[in-house]
Structure 1
């Protein structure tokens, strides 16, 4: 059958008359088929030992790498009525360009001179606060003058008190002297009277002596009266000293009360001024919110509020904007069973919607039409779909992503892992095992550490 021997039976024995023997002879076409099948089997066996790159596939979509470069919705900070549109959908706007203008719908902001009048109120309150401040300064000066005047008046009264004390002392001495003179005069009068009775003195001398005694007696009474007057002056000086202190305390308390009242009014005026300034700043800032501006360079995607005269509330969405020149990335989602295999820095191949590709997932080197990426972030919790979000950016070592790629485009991601033989991958797939978590290098290190 296989023509192993050189002795041909059909040459020695004719088979032409034996149909059954003729049917057992191999045809030339059958021999070719056997050789082909044998070659295929040998090739398939050899291919079982070829390297295969393990991978997982996941669907995703194109997004922006930075949060501030992703599509956003512009909201109205204040309530208003749409007056003018300055852009259309698809227009390019630069940062700060006016998108639309709205007018006020609240009656407290209808006044066209609201800002100047509020500024006048601020100036008036500020002037009032300054006036109260000047009054406080004047009362402080008045209190200082009262203190200085009180010191001088106390010194003056203390001098008067000292003078009264000295006068009392002087009058006391004078009274003592008057008493001594009175005793002497009384003794001289008695002696003159005895001499007059004995006839040794004349009546004229006796009367002269008696007259002098009356003068001494009058001087004694005058001295006593003078001493009492001095004592009264001393008491008056002491009373005046206490009165000066009481009068000073009363005037000081009154001045301080007026000063504290003025300070309270000043603080109240300053608080009102601050409140009005805050209100003026709010009015001024609110005036700027009547023009809806583009927060960054980009394209107007969709107008949520349309028409002229439509009323919008605070916080209502107005228009969507897509930032220009955004660094692109891909959001892809992986199953929890595959999450331990994905690490920051893993390579990923992408097939973008609209770009044809020939893909051999196990042999990425011979795939065409795919684009490279690098994992840069992995969520720490599962999303609503019970999958983990993985953010992949453009691989700087690969060809750049297409220029016409837009945010929101679909992407089919192929995360690449370890290289294993084809037979191992077939066995893993048939048994439903996950891809290898450890690389061969890590396995060798673990084995050496156990030894």
Structure 2
């Protein structure tokens, strides 16, 4: 029975004559299987020529179309200490609602009346600036008065100098006349002396001529003295003008020095006023930052800094908020080798986590549970995961996306490309060839129009 022996029983006994032998040796077991294989091969051959849509599959996440609609965390611009929470996780807040109140932890801002006291300092310094400006105006008026007085004094001194010059000229003319008279008196005296010696003139006449000569000499000396006095007045007038210029130059210099000092103090005061105004504005703004408010309508997701009395630095995340109004989108990541096949406006099928789907990647019309999407943006620089990010939006011509989708949930995307036979797709996959490169019809049509 076990066919151990080399002697076969079938040589001596006809097994087909037995009932069990008929059941075993007379049946054709492979006939149905051969028919099945034949039908399977025919069907497989037909399937090989069926159309297959080339595609690029990828995993992605649900996100929002606009950056302002994505989940965000709120930070404080200043370091502080949590004093009071006004919301709890899951609450809905409107734009401008207060989320929490904080207090200062820097000693420079502990004073609750810091802004008020800075305002008082600002008013005082502003009054000081006004006073310095008034002083500047007064000094400018004083300088103008000194300049006007100097001009009048100089004109007066110049008139005296002119008078002195004229007096010198007059005295010099008078001196010449006196000299002429003196010479005539001397000639007459000499003539009288000569005639008296000759006996033609009396001694009395000679004495009279001598007296006239002496009188002429006296007038000459007096006129010379007057001329010297006039010249001395000219010198005194010149000296008075020089003294006047020096005196008023000194006065004007002192007044201008005081003016520049007042102007410098005014400018310094204005700088301090500007600094105090900046400090006051900063203190008021800092006071408003003690209340963290919602930047837009949304839901409180998570309190990152919890409890009361907890301190934090500026820029630290305090609470996470999800905007209430958003437009859904899906981000998918494409390999660099497949990136040239993706174009703006490309149709994509999306399968969301939590929504059951029957997917035939090459037969999108037969797939069930997937939703239509359209490529709206393609990243120009590679992401940290070594792929390019592509943003998808709902296709308005197909079934709308489920309303219960949450931002951040997973998604599987299928980018539909060119239609090819199944045998070609198998051959491409076996050889690890990329999908066929092609351009969308819209772009090709526009290029033809441009050429025309």
**TM-score where L is the length of structure 1:** 0.86
State the secondary structure of the residue aligned to 1:60: strand
Looking at structure 2, the residues matched to 215 and 140 of structure 1 have their Cα atoms a distance apart, in angstroms, of: 62
Shift of 1:398: 2.2
Supply the distance in 2 between the matched residues of 1:152 and 1:234 (Cα, whole angstroms): 19
- 1:248-287 to structure 2, matched below 5 A, reads 248-287=248-287
Deviations 1:68-114 (A, max 9, x none): 22111111111112111111111111121111011112222122211
Aligned to 2:351: 351
Does the alignment pair 1:96 with 2:96? yes
Q: Which residue of 2 aligns with 1:395?
A: 395
Give yes or no for contact 1:139–1:255 (8 Å, CA) kept in 2: yes
Q: Does 2:386 correspond to 1:386?
A: yes
In structure 1, distance between residues paired with 2:236 and 2:389: 99
Q: Is the 8 A contact 1:394 1:400 kept in 2?
A: yes
1:130 shift after superposition: 2.1
Deviates more, 1:195-204 or 1:310-319: 195-204
3-state DSSP of counterpart to 1:337: coil
SS in 1 for 2:351: strand
Matches within 5 A, 1:3-402: 38-194=38-194, 206-402=206-402
Question: Take 1:161 and 1:22, find their aligned partners in 2: how far apart are those partners?
Answer: 165
Cα separation, partners in 2 of 1:156 and 1:257, compared to 1, 3 Å: same
8 Å contact 1:330–1:411 — kept in the other structure?
yes
Residue ranges of structure 2 left out of the alignment (5+ in a row): 1-15, 446-452
Instruction: Judge which range, 16-25 or 264-273, deviates more.
Output: 16-25
What is the Cα deviation at residue 38 of structure 1? 4.3
Q: Distance in 2 between matches of 1:122 and 1:273?
A: 6
Are the counterparts in 2 of residues 95 and 294 from structure 1 also a CA contact under 8 Å? yes
| Worse-superposed segment, 168-177 or 146-155 | 146-155
What per-residue deviation string (whole Å, max 9, x for no partner) do you get for residues 112-132 of structure 1?
211111011112222222222
Please give the alpha-carbon distance, in whole angstroms, between the structure 2 residues aligned to 1:26 and 1:423.
38
Matched, 1:404 2:416: no
Report if aligned partners of 1:418, 1:439 keep a CA contact under 8 Å in 2: no
Equivalent pairs counted in the alignment come to: 428
**Distance in 1 (alpha carbons) for counterparts of 2:208 and 2:355:** 157
Q: Aligned with 2:375: secondary structure?
A: strand
CA distance change for structure 1 residues 384 and 248 in 2, over 3 Å: closer, same or farther?
same
The Cα RMSD (Å) is 3.0
User: Alpha-carbon deviation of 1:425?
Assistant: 1.2
Shift of 1:142: 2.5
Give the C-alpha shift of residue 338 in structure 1: 2.4
Partners of 2:326 and 2:87 lie apart in 1 by 21
Deviation of 1:197 (Å): 5.8
Distance 1:375 1:212 in 2: 137
Please report how far the alpha carbon of residue 414 of structure 1 lies from its aligned counterpart in structure 2 after TM superposition: 0.9
Q: Which moved more, 1:274-283 or 1:333-342?
A: 333-342
Give the corresponding residue for 1:425: 425
Aligned equivalents of 1:62 and 1:413: distance in 2? 11
Structure-1 separation of matches of 2:206 and 2:400: 152
For 1:274, what is the secondary structure of its paired residue? helix
Instruction: Provide the rounded CA distance (Å) in 1 between the counterparts of 2:439 and 2:112.
Output: 73
Give the Cα separation in 2 of the matches to 1:369 and 1:72: 31
Report Cα offsets for 1:165-186 as digits up to 9, x if no partner. 1110000011111111222223
Q: Distance in 2 between matches of 1:233 and 1:257?
A: 35
